[in-house]
Amino acid sequence: MRLDVVTIFPEYLEPLNVSLVGKARTRGQLDVRVHDLRSWTHDRHNTVDDTPYGGGPGMVMKPEPWGEALDSVLASGEAEGLAAPVLVVPTPSGRPFTQELAVELAERPWLVFAPARYEGIDRRVIEEYGERLEVHEVSIGDYVLAGGEAAVLVITEAVARLLPGVLGNAESHRDDSFAPGAMADLLEGPVYTKPPEWRGRDIPEVLVSGHHGKIARWRRDEAFRRTSANRPDLIERCDPAALDKHDRKTLAELGWEELPGGGFGRRDRAVEE
Ligand code: JCE
């Protein structure tokens, strides 16, 4: 897979040389090219921003450097025989970045990232490349970063670990929380390793019982417990058809009831508390 990143902070992308993504690069599974947006400016001050039309706070990134940068990056990939890339533009007003989108992006041979700074990029740039490429404006979460570079690191790591042969162990994908497929709608429970006792704390007995059925059931119960506590929205929209009798009992103990219209809701605990 080839990745191009156009940014005014190329040093911010240094972490792409480290760990899983860095190893994928040295193994030749990932071809990452980071470009300095300012190299496509023509004035003495390498200006990339200007004041917003209509007034208001902050600055907006000018369209000309982005246009020249993206044209040049697109031309270089085309010259190497690559078909049109997906353009990924991080923004707090984008569509949520999910595991589903990570899987989709991991299937593409070429991604171009356009992380902005200031108040974002002149809208006409998104419109222009929207007519030539598949453009995804994506948000990595409901908070406001100072720029898109950290989002590029997040998206790249989520995508790179899905590439064939990047994670040593293909098994490791299967029951990730949020992975499409099994466990798609539950968070993972806790994990433990050696030593069996640490600072007076034991590990749950069931995990050393050797009873695989009981272990699977315990893990599922813990998954429900965590999901109920941290992501009640996932319980609310879980499919009752995917639950067995034991699951229903676990959910009932956690304060959930099956609603007449299907799905689950929290029992009114106002009196209990
Ligand atoms: C960014 C900014 C909008 C004012 C470029 C923030 C993505 N999930 C996300 N949170 N924050 C971002 C993000 C991505 C790119 C940029 N800002 C700051 N954005 C309004 C300021 C600028």
Tens-digit pLDDT profile for residues 45-71: 999 999 999 999 999 999 999 999 999
Phi, psi at residue 123, to the nearest 5°? -55, -30
The answer to whether 140 and 79 are in contact (CB under 8 A) is: no
Report the alpha-carbon distance of residue 83 to residue 81 in Å, rounded: 7
Phi, psi at residue 110, to the nearest 5°? -150, 125
Strands 134-139 and 31-36: unpaired
> Which protein residue's CA is at the shortest distance from atom 18 of ligand 1?
146
204 in active site: no
Pocket test for ligand 1, best of 91, 123, 143 (most atoms within 8 A of CB): 91
Instruction: Decide: helix, strand or coil at residue 127.
Output: helix
pLDDT of 115: 99
Find the catalytic residue in 80, 119, 127, 239: 119
Report the alpha-carbon distance of residue 33 to residue 69 in Å, rounded: 13
C-alpha 236, offset from chain centre: 22
Phi, psi at residue 222, to the nearest 5°? -65, -35
Report the alpha-carbon distance of residue 55 to residue 122 in Å, rounded: 14
pLDDT band at 183 (very low <50, low <70, confident <90, very high): very low
36 in active site: no
- pTM of this structure: 0.94
What is residue 121's DSSP assignment? Answer: B
Between 116-125, 141-150, 161-170, 234-243, the lowest mean confidence (pLDDT) is in 161-170
Alpha-helical regions (H) of 90-137: 99-106, 123-130
Sign of CA dihedral 179, 245, 255, 259: positive
Between 28-32, 174-178, 209-213, 251-255, the lowest mean confidence (pLDDT) is in 174-178
Between 48-57, 74-83, 100-109, 165-174, the lowest mean confidence (pLDDT) is in 165-174
Strands 60-61 and 49-50: antiparallel
pLDDT of 181: 39
pLDDT of 177: 59
Element (H, E) at 266: strand 264-266
User: Is residue 182's pLDDT more than 50?
Assistant: no
CA of 116 to the centre of ligand 1 (A): 7
Residue in 25, 28, 48 with CA at minimum distance from that of residue 115: 48
Q: For the packed helices 245-253 and 212-230, what is the interaxial angle rounded to 10 degrees?
A: 40
Q: For 106-130, what is each residue's pLDDT tens digit? A: 999 999 999 999 999 999 999 999 9
Sign of CA dihedral 17, 22, 27, 28: negative
Residue in 122, 47, 64 with CA at minimum distance from that of residue 89: 122
Pocket test for ligand 1, best of 37, 145, 149 (most atoms within 8 A of CB): 145
The response to whether residue 90 sits with its C-beta less than 6 Å from ligand 1 reads yes
Element (H, E) at 35: strand 31-36
Residue in 140, 169, 156 with CA at minimum distance from that of residue 25: 156
CA of 35 to the centre of ligand 1 (A): 20
User: Is residue 213's pLDDT more than 50?
Assistant: yes
CA of 118 to the centre of ligand 1 (A): 8
Give the position of tokens 């706070």.
57
176 in active site: yes
